[in-house]
Amino acid sequence: MAVTRAATGLVMAGFGLAGCGASGAHEARMVSLPTTITSQHVAWGPCKGLPSPQPGQPAPASGFDCGSVRVPLDYSKPQGEAISLALIRTRATEPGRRIGSLVFNFGGPGGSGVETFAQAANGYKALGTRYDLVSFDPRGVGRSDPVTCVDDKQMDELSAMDSSPDDAAEEQAYTDEQKTYDQACQTKSGKVLPYVGTLSAARDMDVIRGALGDKQLHYFGISYGTWLGGNYAHQLPKNVGRAVLDGAVDTKIDAIDLDLQQAAAFQRALGNFGTACAKLGPQSCPLGTDSGAVVGAVGKLLNDLDAHPLPTQSGGRELTQSLGLTGVSAALYSKQLWPVLAQGLDEAVEGGEGTTLLALADLQQGRSENGRYNNLIAANTAISCADTTDRYTVDDVKKNLPRFQNASSVFGQSMAWSLLQCTNWPVKGDDAAKEVSAPDAAPIVVVGNTGDPATPYAWAPALTRELGGDASLLTLKGEGHGAYDTGDPCVQKNVNAYLLDGKVPQNGSTCP
């Protein structure tokens, strides 16, 4: 997954280009850890409060175990305060052939690995034959000292606000909201904000590796998880076991170019959806007879929502332009959601109701049916802003706005304004974690999807080059965010053969 703060209205970008916001981050990698940290073993026990598996995805037969590890809050002061990271696992179903643990990060940044794994574990059951499958909530996320900023009512208000200002008054409201939100984060979570960056999270994974009893870290990272895994390999190349990075992030381009490429990728994905929708005919897709007409209809709907939000069946909430944009983008993450998007657009255009698009937006922003938000948006902001020194101004946005609108008529304007996400953030940030070169690591398999909207395909060969050494690129000619979870049999065969049997796919291999 890839996200930005809900207040931008477009929950997709979210990738900073740098490291830990804590002072001494570069030196922290060289500091030895106390035995209270390095001698831990996970005390597994029953899990509490897990979400139900996704529809059609039964829970693993072996069930879930939960546990935790302690890690230093500040790695430059390893004897100081420690925090707890939440873990979840399923045990290998063929223990006699067990390789070790396979650790997952599903992306974000800010996504809960515990909650996501509880819902999606069945999708990795082939890998669970020879591995204990393990996921975790990174520092600042979910059950691991979560960053908090505002309450649920305020989140509803922020997510509905205009994310693409059209005049001076709207610009002022947008920037005022940014400042208010940032101040709230500092007030509620100031203690942890400097320490939630990627450098520290990568170090945490090595503590987890040791606590699991593994000599090397076997790892499956998706989206932001590819950046986290790449930085781990850079810091600790000799500790890398078998690693797959799916839905790659290019950490070496600046934030403006990154967001421009992402805006163009979402526009492409919307066009591909438009082609598929138009082929269904006017009964199922009354938006147009070709891709251009469908995309144009979506753009008109979103423009109309700016002045005329649609009613919904969600407790009196309205579908605003920002929420509509988020709902559309959410459905582009998976081709399986395209029929839901078609339904939601039909419902909005023909029926004048925004319930389905609002549900998609809520799904993307971590809002449950009872109106409670998880801390995805807060953690995403904190990690993204700790991981970059980029701090843009309104003038920067206006200067680049034509480029964004050229890249995407639908998503470009909101993406441009999202550059202000970290402008007033209380943590300075630094540019260390963008380093992912790991020529001395064991072979790392990078997987890219040509139709990926959130992590554009060009980032996959770029990350493969940046890793260096024996890194190998596997390409899927498909649609959706990431490749393995699309269910493509060729991708899953290659990835499974590598993780289970050590067979590295030839660099440049293509599926299907």
Hey, which residues are catalytic here? 223, 452, 481
- Helix ranges restricted to H, 352-437: 355-365, 376-386, 394-407, 412-417
If DSSP codes are grouped into helix, strand and coil, which group holds residue 319?
strand
Following DSSP, what letter does each residue of 445-504 receive, concatenated? EEEEEEE-SSS-TTHHHHHHHHH-TT-EEEEEEEESSSSGGGT-HHHHHHHHHHHHH--P
Pairing mode, strands 472-479 and 509-511: parallel
Burial-class residue 55 by CB neighbours within 10 Å (0-12, 13-18, 19+): exposed
- Listed in sequence order, the residues at least 6 apart from 70 whose beta carbon sits closer than 8 Å to its beta carbon are 36, 37, 40, 82, 83, 84, 85
- Residue count of the chain: 512
Integer Cα distance of 193 and 485 in angstroms: 32
- Listed in sequence order, the residues at least 6 apart from 487 whose beta carbon sits closer than 8 Å to its beta carbon are none
Query: And the tokens for 47?
Result: 């899990």
Integer Cα distance of 431 and 452 in angstroms: 26
In this structure, the number of other CB atoms found within 10 A of the CB of residue 369 comes to 9
- Listed in sequence order, the residues at least 6 apart from 335 whose beta carbon sits closer than 8 Å to its beta carbon are 478, 479, 480, 486
Matching residue, tokens 């026990």: 45
- CA angle, corner 238, sides to 236 and 240, nearest 5? 80
Integer Cα distance of 58 and 79 in angstroms: 43
In the chain the first and final C-alpha atoms are separated, in Å, by 23
Pairing mode, strands 131-136 and 310-311: unpaired
Integer Cα distance of 21 and 4 in angstroms: 18
Integer Cα distance of 314 and 327 in angstroms: 14
Question: Comparing C-alpha atoms, which of 504, 498, 435 is closest to residue 463?
Answer: 435
Question: Comparing C-alpha atoms, which of 234, 211, 61, 69 is closest to residue 143?
Answer: 69
Integer Cα distance of 157 and 193 in angstroms: 23
- CA angle, corner 269, sides to 349 and 10, nearest 5? 70
Integer Cα distance of 274 and 452 in angstroms: 15
If DSSP codes are grouped into helix, strand and coil, which group holds residue 119?
helix
Please state the φ and ψ torsions of residue 450, each to the nearest 5 degrees: -65, -25
